[in-house]
Amino acid sequence: MSTCREIATQLMAPGKGILAADESIGTMSTRLEQAGVAATAENRRVYRELLATTPDLADGISGIILCDETIKQHFSDGTPFAEAVRAVGILPGIKVDTGAKPCPGLPGETVTEGLDGLSARLTRYVERGAMFAKWRAVYTITDTTPTAGAIAVNASALARYAAACQEAGLVPIVEPEVVMSGNHSQPRCAEITAAVHAAVRSALDLLNVDPAGMVLKPNMVIEGTGNPDRTAPEDVAAVTGKVLRAWPDDLAGVAFLSGGQPPERATANLAALQYLRTPWPLTFSFGRALVTPALLAWRGDAARYADGQAAVAEQVRANSAAVRLRTELQRT
């Protein structure tokens, strides 16, 4: 257990965040195609190598989340991905769920799968060098969802995953994502996020998951994309802080997902969150907000490889500066 605590502390190192580069093959392929890049295994590999070899990435990134395909791939010099990432001072992580699937009995809702054979897979990922893992549950807000059933089954799966990870010596990133799609208001997002978190906390507690050896990856509490309101960063921070307050003081940390917010908005919200007085550090575990500009700058063109890296470096710098605010505020 102490290993998990040590790794979790490293993941939450001051001024650093986590790079989520674990899109499934399907999602990554779609994003590559939208950027005009052929969706091949080799292009997915090259793109992930571009991100991981960005100069000085470890100054602002403590860990990179990989997917099953990537952790089995190698850098162009033949070094296995996880080993190469470690060599630049970044902890390699692995997404271990197998996706949100339609949940029998709950029309229109999903349960995240991947529990079958999980312990054996975790052992193999540890052998490949993984030090932490990720599992994402997805909740959509409508007038009638998420239902109590979706909240309960996803909480139970997240807890079983987290307990299995800690048993295997991997730090679980526990990601209950209330997605932004919908017309809902920020108060409705707060109500749903709080209910989801309460169920997740109680499921984790029942399976004796050590809060000090895990990282929570929540959504920021924000209005739906179809709602014309644009909640100001101070209000996103205040309400998100209220929802998070019930988490135990010894939780290793909170690393927010970006959820499809424009990169500048995600960074502004992250900066505002640093003014909260919380017992745990608050950092980023962004996917799209860190890498979308890089993909658009690169577009599969070897001549623009350095432009892609400059774009990701810029996003990392901005978000790392946002979380460094906390250290600066603590000094004053």
Catalytic residues, by residue number, are 175, 217
Give the Cα separation of 186 and 158 in Å (integer): 25
Q: Does 259 bind ligand 13P (CB under 6 A)?
A: yes
Q: Does 247 bind ligand 13P (CB under 6 A)?
A: no
- By beta-carbon proximity to ligand 13P, the closer residue of 70 and 258 is 258
Min dist. Cβ of residue 77 to ligand 13P (A): 27
Question: Which one of 7, 221, 222, 289 is in contact with ligand 13P (CB under 6 A)?
Answer: 289
Which residue bears the tokens 């996103």? 236
Sign of the dihedral defined by the CA atoms of residues 7, 73, 138, 112, in that order: negative
Instruction: Choose the binding region for ligand 13P from 46-54, 100-108, 287-295, 316-324 (rule: CB under 6 A).
Output: 287-295
Which residue bears the tokens 């580069």? 21
Q: Does 263 bind ligand 13P (CB under 6 A)?
A: no
Q: Does 146 bind ligand 13P (CB under 6 A)?
A: no
Question: Which one of 44, 136, 160, 188 is in contact with ligand 13P (CB under 6 A)?
Answer: 136
- By beta-carbon proximity to ligand 13P, the closer residue of 20 and 216 is 20
Fill in the per-residue mask, 41 to 80: x = in contact with ligand 13P (CB under 6 A), - = not in contact: ----------------------------------------
- By beta-carbon proximity to ligand 13P, the closer residue of 115 and 306 is 115
Q: Which residues contact 88 (CB under 8 A, 6 or more apart)?
A: 52, 53, 57, 58
Question: Which one of 163, 222, 257, 313 is in contact with ligand 13P (CB under 6 A)?
Answer: 257
Q: How many residues bind ligand 13P (CB under 6 A)?
A: 10
Q: Does 253 bind ligand 13P (CB under 6 A)?
A: no
As a whole number of angstroms, the longest Cα–Cα distance in the chain is 54
Min dist. Cβ of residue 96 to ligand 13P (A): 12
Short-list 35, 30, 95, 28, CA closest to 64: 95
What is the token pair recorded at 171?
């730090």
Burial of 128 (0-12, 13-18, 19+ CB in 10 A): middle
Q: Does 92 bind ligand 13P (CB under 6 A)?
A: no
Helix (H, G, I), strand (E, B) or coil at 299: coil
Judged by CB under 6 A, the chain residues 7 through 26 that form the site for ligand 13P are: 20
Give the Cα separation of 64 and 182 in Å (integer): 30
Short-list 13, 19, 66, CA closest to 258: 19
Q: Which residues contact 3 (CB under 8 A, 6 or more apart)?
A: 169
Chain residues that interact with ligand 13P, rule: CB under 6 A:
20, 136, 175, 257-259, 286-289
